[in-house]
Amino acid sequence: MTVETKLALTEQDVRSYSSAKQEPSWFAEYRVQALLAAENLPMPTPDKTKIDKWNFTNFPVHSVESTPFASIAELPEEVKAIVNNEQKSVYIQRNNTPAFLQISEELLAQGVIFTDIFTAVREHSDLVQKYFMTNGVKSDEHKLASLHAALLNGGVFVYVPKNVELVEPIQVVFLHDDAQASLFNHTIVVADANSSVTYVENYLSTVPESAGLVNIVSEVFAEDNARITYGAVDVLAKGGTTYVNRRGIANRNARIEWALGLMNDGDTISENVTHLVGDASYGDTKMVVVGRGNQKQNFTTKIIHWGKHSEGYILKHGVMKDEASSIFNGIGKIEHGATKSNAVQESRVLMLNEKARGDANPILLIDEDDVTAGHAASVGRVDPLQLYYLMSRGISKQDAERLVIHGFLAPVVNVLPIEGVKKQLTEVIERKVR
Amino acid sequence: MSTLVIQDLHVAIDGKEILKGLNLTLNTNEIHAIMGPNGTGKSTLASAIMGHPKYEVTSGSVTLDGEDVLEMEVDERAQAGLFLAMQYPSEITGVTNADFLRSAINSRREEGDEISIMKFIRELDSKMEYLEMDQDMAQRYLNEGFSGGEKKRNEILQLMMLQPKFAILDEIDSGLDIDALKVVSKGINQMRGEGFGCLIITHYQRLLNYITPDHVHVMMQGRVVKSGGPELAHKLEAQGYDWIKEELGIEDETVGQEA
Ligand SMILES: Nc1ncnc2c1ncn2[C@@H]1O[C@H](COP(=O)(O)OP(=O)(O)O)[C@@H](O)[C@H]1O
Ligand SMILES: [Mg+2]
């Protein structure tokens, strides 16, 4: 079904979209309430970036129909390039259409749920209701969260039952090959007690420029003793603005590790928050960014310590080329009572030329005495003597810059916890710096 | 045979003239040494020839087999056959020595004709062994955390891997103990011969005990003030620079002073 409107949809549009998707009534109501609430909610306020002139509400169409893929063989080359041959469990969403799903024997045998969000809402309604915008991202946080809930038009649901430790990673590709498409994707990854999973998602535009909006939310829940490794490689086209909110909740002795390659070409607001709720929980965010053209971006990474003995680590490196500008906010917050916690962060930004801008903004907010914390941040321009040195060996200026950029990002890329993400990122970086 | 000709070279840094009309001609199959006290413009000469971004050539010329070197970008100068072992090599995080060297070698080859990994590793291994370098240096980040001596050896390793027509070695001997000095000299001597010319910048005669130069030049006040054969280096070793200053009526040999 395609709903055409210049502005955000009406209540009736939302209801009819929901009923066309055969959603349960609680979900339809949730959407409608969120739509009504959106009117009066404020925009989010990413630190140091003014977004009041950014377009987050106008988009050409709410949803487009795309043709599904019958087999891996039918996938476009760009997708084949990132879906490893050995990848057993993979879901591909094409614009707003669930387009391909393959689930391994291992997942099926162990009762893992891995499906598009619409199927999940229909077939696992209770489970979705438990996790959907309740404890993670709430729809009344700000206008974009509520619009997201109202307009949700894609996404994926992963549930790993208790005691199931998955060895094979699960991969999701959100293919964006229709310039008119907007993505309001919602991803939920739940690792129930004592389970573990590696989830990798790719946002990939194969159109050069996009007219649509992206407003995506991921909610990631690691229950007691569970472990989630969450990789994301975002490569969305310039044109439309992107709001991406990836949030994790780690319960007792649980671990959430993020490996994020944020390589969009358009203006992007990215928020990645991990709540270390349980005692001895562990959060680790590793992020690399390459900005180019005249894009503006804001990356907030935040780890909030609630549990005792919780450990939070943030490591991010960004390179700004051309006239790109980026703010890197890193926040370590230790709540009162989170004794013996440790909050560590490091942000480094390299600017390649005069017009590129970067700002690293490390913040520690500590409400407890018995803790350890540390931060390091640096922002600098590429050293012309490094380029001179490399060029004096015959290496062209472009290749010299390429080496310096790869080198600058290597300390993060090399320690990413997912091999596939490492490899993909190296290739994306290569394309972006060429 | 190739020839590098430097004529009446004037070079300024931050608007201050450092080289004041320097002349020098190098041929392949020759080793020249430039000696001189600190602050006489030796590194300035080396940097200007290679195209260091801070050094401005205000007049004069540098040509390599008739080609105007000063018109070339830094990488083009290297491609044309020039090499500078720097007094203070840069450190580059995240780029391994091996990746860097392979990029440098491939920059001299056509796309599609890159050196095979096997051949590269063989050459690198054998040259590192020749220079008594730890094999793990290949996988370390370029010059990062290298000791002074390791950096100098690494410059010679690059020289041997890249096989330029002309190498300028700026104080390749400084900070080296006697064993390292011998190893570095061994590397340079192996390059010696047809098709290779070298300009060794030093203010000690020590290195020249291991590499006998064909020509020795003395720099003062941003110019070559005296040239001779290997015996000139020995005389400087025995008697210092004062006799030259007296002979030429120079009071302060550093740049910024006029005779
Ligand atoms: N960055 C600089 N700014 C201003 N003057 C400089 C700079 N670098 C070198 N100089 C001047 O140039 C002179 C020659 O320097 P250099 O070529 O390094 O001498 P050498 O290598 O013979 O010791 C120095 O004594 C100093 O006066
Ligand atoms: Mg010097």
Indicate which ligand has the atom closest to the C-alpha of B42: 1
**Tens digit of pLDDT for each residue in B24-36?**
999 999 999 999 9
Whether A234 and A262 have beta carbons less than 8 Å apart is answered as: yes
Cα–Cα distance, A332 to A313 (Å, whole number): 9
Instruction: Find the residue in A nearest to B78 (Cα).
Output: A394
Checking if the pLDDT of B259 tops 50, the result is no
Q: What are the sequence ranges of the domains in chain A?
A: 2-277, 382-434
The residue type found at A214 is V
Residues 6 or more apart in contact with residue A347 via CB below 8 angstroms:
A314, A316, A317, A318, A328, A330, A360, A361, A362, A375, A376, A377, A378
* Segment B176-198, tens digit of pLDDT: 999 999 999 999 999 999 999 99
Q: Where are the beta strands (DSSP E) in A352-426?
A: 357-366, 372-381
Judged by a CB distance cut-off of 8 A, whether residue B81 touches chain A is no
* Residues of chain A with a CB closer than 8 angstroms to some CB in chain B: 383-386, 388-397, 399-400, 403-404, 406-411
* Ligand 1 binding pocket mutation candidate from B10, B14, B18 (most atoms within 8 A of CB): B18
Q: Do B100 and A409 touch (CB under 8 A)?
A: no
Q: What percent of chain B has pLDDT over 70?
A: 99
Closest ligand to C-alpha of residue B13 is 1
C-beta atoms of B51 and A399 within 8 A = no
Q: Is A403 within 8 Å of B103 when comparing Cβ atoms?
A: yes
> Using a CB-CB distance cutoff of 8 angstroms, which residues of chain A are in contact with residue B158?
393
Mutate to test the interface with A, among B49, B55, B69, B95 (most CBs of A within 10 A): B95
Size of interface A-B (CB pairs under 8 A): 83
Residue-level pLDDT at A96: 98
Q: Does domain B3-176+194-248 have CATH number 3.40.50.300?
A: yes
Residue B100 contacts A where some CB pair is shorter than 8 Å:
yes
pLDDT, residue B204, reads 85
Q: How many angstroms does the Cα of residue A90 sit away from the middle of ligand 2?
A: 60
Distance B135 CA to ligand 2 centre (A): 30
Q: What does the pLDDT look like over A70-106, one tens digit per residue?
A: 999 999 999 999 998 889 999 999 999 999 999 999 9
Interface probe, candidates B83, B93, B96, B115, chain A, greatest A C-beta count within 10 A = B93
C-beta separation of A332 from A301 below 8 A: no
CA-B87 nearest atom, ligand 1: 21
**pTM of the full structure:** 0.91
Tell me what pLDDT residue A84 has. Answer: 84
- Which residue ranges of chain A lie beneath pLDDT 70? 1-8
- How far is the alpha carbon of B208 from chain A, nearest alpha carbon, in Å? 26
Q: Any residues with CB less than 8 A from the CB of A296 and at least 6 apart, and which?
A: A49, A267, A324, A325, A326
CB atoms within 10 A of CB B117: 10
Burial class of residue B136 (count of CB atoms within 10 Å of its CB; 0-12, 13-18, 19+): exposed
Min Cα distance A284 → chain B (Å) is: 21
- CB under 6 Å to ligand 1: residues? B 13-14, 16, 18, 36, 38-44, 254-256
Measured in angstroms, how far is the CA atom of residue B23 from the centroid of ligand 1?
A: 19
Find, in chain A, the residue whose alpha carbon is nearest to that of B95.
A407
B42: enclosing H helix or E strand: helix B42-50
Ligand 1 centroid – CA B20 distance (Å): 13
CB contact (8 A) between residue A394 and residue B107: yes
Please state, in angstroms and rounded to a whole number, the distance separating the CA atoms of residues A259 and A418: 7
A384 contacts B77? CB cut-off 8 A: no
Contact A361, A327 (CB under 8 A): yes
Q: Which residues surround ligand 2, an ion (CB under 5 A)?
A: B 43
Residues paired with residue B200 on neighbouring β-strands, in sequence order: B33, B169
Nearest-Cα residue of chain B relative to residue A407? B94
Nearest atom in ligand 1 to B219's CA: 22
Q: Which residues pair with A286 in a beta bridge?
A: A259, A315
Residue of chain A whose Cα is closest to the Cα of B81: A394
Nearby residues of B221 by Cβ (< 8 Å), 6 or more positions away: B20, B40, B41, B250, B253, B254, B255, B257, B258, B259
Ligand nearest to the CA of B19: 1
- Lookup: tokens for A282: 């562990």
Positive or negative, the CA dihedral A154, A248, A234, A230 is: negative
Domain boundaries, chain B: 3-176+194-248
The answer to whether the Cβ–Cβ distance between B107 and A409 falls below 8 Å is no
pLDDT at B187: 97
pLDDT digits (tens, 9 = 90+) for A203-247: 999 999 999 999 999 999 999 999 999 999 999 999 989 999 999
What's the CA gap between B233 and B32, in Å, rounded? 11
Do residue B99 and residue A411 have CB atoms under 8 angstroms apart?
no
In this complex, is the C-beta atom of B114 within 8 Å of any C-beta atom belonging to chain A?
no
A392/B84 touch (CB, cutoff 8 Å), yes or no: yes
Protein residue closest via CA to atom 17 of ligand 1:
B41
Amino acid of residue B162 = L
- DSSP secondary structure, B120-156, as one string: HHHHHHHHHHHTT--GGGGGSBTTTT--HHHHHHHHH
Most B CBs within 10 Å, among A319, A387, A395, A398, to test the B interface: A395
**pLDDT digit string, tens, across residues B122-177:** 999 999 999 999 999 999 999 999 999 999 999 999 999 999 999 999 999 998 99
The Cα–Cα gap between A298 and A275 comes to: 20
Average per-residue pLDDT for chain B: 95
Residues of chain A positioned with their CB less than 8 A from the CB of B141: 407
